[in-house]
Structure 1
Amino acid sequence: MWPRRRSGSPPLLLFSVLNAVTSSSVAVAVNVATAEFPQAHGWTDNFTLLASIVAAVTVVSAVVAWLDRRADAGSAPSRPDALAAAAPMTTAQRWILAGGAVILTAGLATFIWLRPGLGGRERLSVLLTLAAFAVVAWLVAWWAVRAARPQPVAEATRTGEAGITTRSRVLQRVDQWWVRDALHRSLQQAVRLDVALDAQPDAVEAYEGPTQAALQRLGAPEPLPDGTRLVDVYDASRRILLIGRPGSGKTTHLLQLTEELLRRARADDDSPAPVVLLLSRWRTSHPDFCSWASAEIGERYGVAPAEVRQWLDDGRVILLLDGLDEVDDEYQDACLEAINSFARADSFAGTGMVVTCRSQDYERLHRLAFDVALVVRPLSRAQIDRALRSAGPDLDTLRHALDRDETLRELLTTPLMLGVATIAYRGATPDQLPTGGDSDAHRQVLYRLFVQRMLTRRRSLRGRPETEANFPPHEARCALIWLARLMHRRSQTVFYPDWLTPAWLPGRHPEWPLPRPRGVTAWLARRLGWDHTSTGLVGGGLAALIGAVATVPFGALVGGVRGAVVTAAVAAAFFGLGIGLTFGVLLQVPRLNRLFVPFIGREETTAYAASEWTTSARSAATGFLFWSAFGAVFVGLPVALSSTWPAAALIALTLGTGGGLSGGSVPDFAKPPASPGHALRASLRRFTRLMMILLALVAALLAVTFAQRGPWFAVVAALPMTVALMLTAGPGRAWLRHRAVTFGIARSGLLPEQLLDFLSYADDRVIMQRVFGGYAFIHRTLRDHLVAEDPFNRLPEPSRRVPAAGG
């Protein structure tokens, strides 16, 4: 039934087995329903024959899938870019899959074996139970299809890292992420300039203790010989501070140094490995800078923190730290002092360090205890004129405007703004250039026209041709503004789609006027906030579906067809409203929020989607005991008083099973997302496996209980609550939260529903660029510009004169 996958991906075996099992289930269900007919009555009573047929279909399907997979593997092209992000199926996963299929098959055969003693309503209940299991199995298979769909991954992953040393893997990732992606694809590469460096000796000071006052003001720099590169200074002094104006090229210099140090490290195994770290991720939760650097390198580059610590002790790594000014204001002093303590420590004397910071922000801080401070020299008038002349006559209007506009000429003394200007003002007429205003006003006009030009051009600057834009320019601009605002609100310089959660969405009291979509969803969002509305609606809708499907057999057992319909409606309302009100309303009350923490965890500390998940026996045991106790007290006790104690015990056991499965899955953030969406797909695959295990265990428990004439309906009744429970922790919650935020950003009109496509589109237009498994604006000043823009105002027509604000 499933389309044949030419890639030979591991889940093909899963699809075939599920296909065999569910097809057999349908056949069995039909025979149960038609048992009154003589031609069907004979062989449906034969347990051995029926079990043999089901087992034979399953085995044949699995063998065919295995042979098909081998054929695909042999004929598949061995191109690195053809590999999928899905990992090969392990032996343990195959055994789990085979065990689940056998248990489910045995349970189905047991149902048929006991069929002669069932009444009419019991037969209908069994039929609906089989159908419910088939539906859930197909949903699990569909999730597996989505999780295993081949996706483009980062070059560092495509080229293969198996069998290489830790050092080689670090160098490979530095090369891909920082040299190829960040340096060679940056906007500054469009304008090739030799930006000079000057010495700034008063910016650093070697001292034994902390200074008592901030730097306050930098003196005049001391010129260095033309052609002096950052690597030349680093060879003489291993601790360098690099400062400059926004967009002056600090990060470009740092990445050019990275490229040179990377070349040396690959040529000589004794040379230290350069690693680039973003200081914007600094937090005071670590006891010292060495601990933070070890954890950050471990998370970003896949190195054990203990091994990183040994590298730092031995001087085998060079720390290239970008963006001291991007550290949160409340952490800046602590970060600088931690760096100084690290730099003064004798044990780390052999570790090279380079730190970048904006000049204006650095003046508010204490001095770094480094050897040398450099400042990026502004572009000279001659450099600007040569760059504009080399671009051709399309920039003659801009070049002549610089002769009479000192403010505009001063603005273009940084490579970033000169590169932006060559794009924004290419082919412009004199009346399109801004008049009057200060430097900030000119920058706003320049960025506004730059964004307009990039969104309306028919070809990207990344070398990928496009016949037409994927997103209308006005809608794309609005989405960029909202993304910039959301990132600014959470102090993020890099946006990771995998880590997008409902907490990113505006609450009841948004900082900015939001789009006003119509409908019930928008009405709820205005009163509850998009964060809680999205979670409540998505979680409640899914819980209603699960509740209706899983309780239909119990309703059929009690009241036939009418009972099934009524029970499904009641269960959908109960579970849907319960989950929806809990996440949409109750969690907004601080006291109630604290009450729910033991059950669902804290919103701010809940793990995001992770590239790797591990199993913890201790966590699984804790989850099993906690949720078993919860089920026994809050669900089992009322059932025991109204029904039987065995039914209460089965409900507690079923809930505990789900709690153990979800609680035992622990995210491992040692590897960052290799590509946007990679961590989410890995979490979805993990959740799919957990659902498979749950279905197999529940089927086994159901078969045993049914064979013993026990209260099997208790297991069916507890299944929807168990599945809903598994969506509140572990990989299930990561998937649910992402579904909720996708729903929220689309319904609210803030971001496109096809978010990954939009981010790739923004990268093509050089408005954003890939960083690790996320995206960042080409410069923080562009992000800040978009934060201040009004998404409800359309851009002016290019032919109209654009006055600068304040002019």
Structure 2
Amino acid sequence: MRRVATVVLSVVCVTLLGVATNVATGALPARWTPHLWLAWPALVVVVAALTVVEVRRARESAPVTGVTATHARRVLLDRVRRYWITSVLERSLHREARIQLGITASADDRRYPWTLRATHRGGFTGVLDGGASVAGLFERLDRAVVILGAPGSGKTTTLLELARELIDAAERDPDAPIPVVLNLSSWATRRPPLEQWLAAELTERYGIPSRQASAWIESGAILPLLDGLDEVVATRRDECAAAIAAFHARQPLTPIAVCCREWEYRQLRAGLPVYGTVTIQPLTRPQIERYLDRSGPALAGLRAALTADEGLWEFTGSPLLLTIMGLAYADGPGPTAGPGGRRTRLFTRYVETMLRHRPHPTYRPEQAIQYLSVLGHELRRRQQTIFVLDLVASDWSPRWVTPSADLLSRALASVAVGGLVALLGAGLLGWPGLAVGATAGALTALGLALAEYENLVLIASRERRPEDRRPLRVDWVTDTARELRAVAGNTGITWATVAAALVVGLAFGLTDELPGWPGMLAELAYWLGFLLATLLALAVTGATLFDLYLVGPPGGAPRREIPSPALRQRLRSAAMGAPPLGLVTGALAALLVGSARTGADGLRYGAVVGAFAASYLLVAVALGPVTEQWLVRRRLARDGVLPRPLRPFLDYAVQCLFLRDVGDGYIFVHRELLEFFADRLTRPSTQVVPRP
């Protein structure tokens, strides 16, 4: 039925387009000639309506064909491999440390030094050692497992080893499910059913169209590899486990693997209803000594440190800490005493050693540590693991006690809109146009303060998106009508708009030479045209922001930092919405004023009012936040909080084995390193972001 209605509406619009064109350009009776100009605004309205109809028809496309689904499958497999296997697993701290230390692999080397113990709920128990296949163990456990271990034991690495083998299998077999690695820490921000969260993550992290992602999940074509159940905020961890269990109950044939720290998993009210459990065993002393012997002189410094301080052996059971110790003591044993405990001294020695071995001409070691400390602190404060540029906001600086960048950007946006409209108005309308410009600037300032507007802090907050996020089909008519009712219900905005429109009407009335009722009707037309344009601008802005609120941030990793990816998405959306809004509001104002005065007066007034409506949408959706972002990044660099530009430093931290780049963001090589840097922050902590 929707398709039939859309086709009928399209035919009507095309017919009206032809009629309006003939009326505007054809020969008509002489008595119609004074009103001929009315056809041009009508033509603009019909063209805008036809554009909207065609856009809606394009979005109501047919289901994804086999060809595009096959292409999307190849794209997803390639991105999972590049993001997690090439960028993370093959550049893991363990592997990078071997390269850094010059440890050569021998034929009898194991891929990793730890042992996996597997338990099936049907009674099977086994140990994976040597070069055995993780995917083979996954099959023996009926392809539904939870991977447990202590911090730094190798859980994520084991999960990625499984991902690599499953990707290889999926590339050989087109019917095999597509393994997708996702971090569960973002689930708690909205807490939707797992199917919806998976679809949203496939769209955001991997750029898969939402309809294709939903179809794959529903058909069981996606194999979720979920990392970081322990990284979900503690108050939501049981809910997250319940959501995973509900998903597995609804789709029992869909394979799944989940990673969690062992202690946090044991604290859950109910474990996951999977078939098997894989527990990573701590390294034993014989394993460690065999590893040290095989490494030869590359780990002579670590052997000397263990001899000098017997207490360091307590950390060697963790593969992560063993690797860090190999790098930290590459130059020999350090002092056995100092501030903090042994673990803190170990991480401190590691950071100092890596910065000393890989110096940078721009970032001094103390600066690099400060920047990483800020990064770790803010990720922990927001309970996130992946850093993206959109997270940077004004509340990152302790010296900003007031939102000065936010206020300044709103003020600059208001002045810019008022100045633009005043210049255009003065050129087309005379001095009353200056009054229109001043009123437009004042209404812009009021709208940005009282109506829909999102500053960087709100844009950076993932909690703002609704929990029932779904593949979205934008309905501009419905959304605009809803927002128009919301604007009308805002008493302050409504009365301010009415008063501002009265000011515009009076400004034209003072210069109008029409006496009596014609003059009053002209003033009413100016007033009503400006009022309708302002209300529509506020409503369309609210609808645009709501649609962005539902769609969420884009994927990709552009090198340009300002505007960031989310703001670049807003610029595109505003640039697409501003011209139609300007045309429609301008046409309405032109019709009203032209019917009371002349067609030329109506067209000039419509151009000014349309420019105001389009400019308001641009600054409220995109240009205001972009200005704020530019001010914030300058201030953060001046305060020594973060460098500008930021990406070169993040890439340097990757070279120093502190961070890893994952898709469009960066993560610390391990959460323990994140916690270490976050605890080192030498400034007053900011207020913790509340969770819903």
Normalised TM-score (structure 2)? 0.69
Alignment of 1:144-543 (within 5 A): 164-191=70-97, 193-199=111-117, 201=119, 224=128, 226-237=130-141, 238-283=143-188, 285=190, 288-303=193-208, 311=216, 315-343=220-248, 345=249, 348-366=251-269, 367-385=271-289, 387-388=291-292, 393=297, 395-428=299-332, 430=333, 432-435=334-337, 441-458=341-358, 468-502=360-394, 505=396, 514=398, 516=399, 525-526=400-401, 528=402, 532-543=403-414
Q: Which moved more, 1:623-632 or 1:772-781?
A: 623-632
| 2:544 matches 1:684 | no
CA distance in structure 2 between the aligned counterparts of 1:568 and 1:649, rounded to whole angstroms: 13
CA distance in structure 2 between the aligned counterparts of 1:685 and 1:304, rounded to whole angstroms: 18
Closer, same or farther: CA 572–383 of 1 in aligned 2, 3 Å = farther
Structure 2 counterpart SS, 1:540 = helix
Structure 1 counterpart SS, 2:660 = strand
CA distance in structure 2 between the aligned counterparts of 1:454 and 1:274, rounded to whole angstroms: 34
Gaps (5+ residues) in structure 1?
1-160, 208-220, 460-467, 507-513, 517-524, 584-595, 794-807
Q: Which moved more, 1:330-339 or 1:596-605?
A: 596-605
CA distance in structure 2 between the aligned counterparts of 1:680 and 1:386, rounded to whole angstroms: 53
Structure 1 counterpart SS, 2:317 = coil
How far is the alpha carbon of 1:383 from its aligned partner? 4.4
CA distance in structure 2 between the aligned counterparts of 1:413 and 1:319, rounded to whole angstroms: 29
What is the letter of the counterpart of residue 684 of structure 1? L
Closer, same or farther: CA 455–718 of 1 in aligned 2, 3 Å = farther
Closer, same or farther: CA 792–308 of 1 in aligned 2, 3 Å = closer
Structure 2 counterpart SS, 1:434 = coil
- Contact 1:340–1:369 under 8 Å retained in 2: yes
CA distance in structure 2 between the aligned counterparts of 1:621 and 1:272, rounded to whole angstroms: 43
2:675 to 784, 787, 804: 784
How far is the alpha carbon of 1:235 from its aligned partner? 1.4
- Contact 1:651–1:715 under 8 Å retained in 2: no
Structure 2 counterpart SS, 1:443 = helix
How far is the alpha carbon of 1:550 from its aligned partner? 3.0
CA distance in structure 1 between the aligned counterparts of 2:530 and 2:586, rounded to whole angstroms: 14
Cα shift readout 1:770-790 (whole Å, capped 9, x = no counterpart) = 122111111111111111104
CA distance in structure 1 between the aligned counterparts of 2:682 and 2:96, rounded to whole angstroms: 28
Structure 1 counterpart SS, 2:498 = helix
Structure 2 counterpart SS, 1:165 = helix
CA distance in structure 2 between the aligned counterparts of 1:558 and 1:167, rounded to whole angstroms: 58
CA distance in structure 2 between the aligned counterparts of 1:393 and 1:599, rounded to whole angstroms: 61
How far is the alpha carbon of 1:365 from its aligned partner? 1.9
Q: How many residues align?
A: 565
- Contact 2:574–2:617 under 8 Å retained in 1: no
Closer, same or farther: CA 405–369 of 1 in aligned 2, 3 Å = farther
Structure 2 counterpart SS, 1:368 = coil
| 2:525 matches 1:646 | yes
- Contact 1:548–1:571 under 8 Å retained in 2: no
Alignment of 1:644-723 (within 5 A): 644-656=523-535, 658-659=537-538, 662-663=541-542, 665=544, 666-667=547-548, 669=551, 672-676=554-558, 677-691=564-578, 708-709=600-601, 712=604, 716=608, 719=611, 723=615
CA distance in structure 1 between the aligned counterparts of 2:571 and 2:354, rounded to whole angstroms: 35
| 2:545 matches 1:545 | no
Closer, same or farther: CA 288–498 of 1 in aligned 2, 3 Å = closer
What is the letter of the counterpart of residue 305 of structure 2? A
How far is the alpha carbon of 1:300 from its aligned partner? 3.6
CA distance in structure 2 between the aligned counterparts of 1:597 and 1:314, rounded to whole angstroms: 43
| Equivalent position of 2:649 in the other structure | 758
How far is the alpha carbon of 1:255 from its aligned partner? 0.3
Closer, same or farther: CA 646–190 of 1 in aligned 2, 3 Å = same
What is the letter of the counterpart of residue 154 of structure 2? G
Structure 2 counterpart SS, 1:471 = coil
| Equivalent position of 2:666 in the other structure | 775
- Contact 2:81–2:167 under 8 Å retained in 1: yes
Cα shift readout 1:447-484 (whole Å, capped 9, x = no counterpart) = 2232233344447xxxxxxxx43433322221211121
Q: Which moved more, 1:545-554 or 1:700-709?
A: 700-709
Q: Which moved more, 1:534-543 or 1:390-399?
A: 390-399
Cα shift readout 1:99-134 (whole Å, capped 9, x = no counterpart) = xxxxxxxxxxxxxxxxxxxxxxxxxxxxxxxxxxxx
What is the letter of the counterpart of residue 784 of structure 1? E
Structure 2 counterpart SS, 1:275 = strand
What is the letter of the counterpart of residue 361 of structure 1? E
CA distance in structure 2 between the aligned counterparts of 1:415 and 1:485, rounded to whole angstroms: 25
Cα shift readout 1:547-585 (whole Å, capped 9, x = no counterpart) = 23432465689998xx99x98997899579768xx75xx
How far is the alpha carbon of 1:673 from its aligned partner? 1.2
Closer, same or farther: CA 458–712 of 1 in aligned 2, 3 Å = same
Structure 1 counterpart SS, 2:530 = helix
Closer, same or farther: CA 690–748 of 1 in aligned 2, 3 Å = farther
Query: Percentage identity across aligned positions?
Result: 28
How far is the alpha carbon of 1:264 from its aligned partner? 0.5
| Equivalent position of 2:501 in the other structure | 636
Closer, same or farther: CA 711–617 of 1 in aligned 2, 3 Å = closer
Gaps (5+ residues) in structure 2?
1-66, 99-110, 467-471, 510-522, 559-563, 685-692
How far is the alpha carbon of 1:751 from its aligned partner? 1.8
- Contact 1:395–1:426 under 8 Å retained in 2: yes
CA distance in structure 1 between the aligned counterparts of 2:212 and 2:429, rounded to whole angstroms: 63
Closer, same or farther: CA 471–162 of 1 in aligned 2, 3 Å = farther
Closer, same or farther: CA 765–271 of 1 in aligned 2, 3 Å = same
Closer, same or farther: CA 688–456 of 1 in aligned 2, 3 Å = farther
- Contact 2:497–2:531 under 8 Å retained in 1: yes
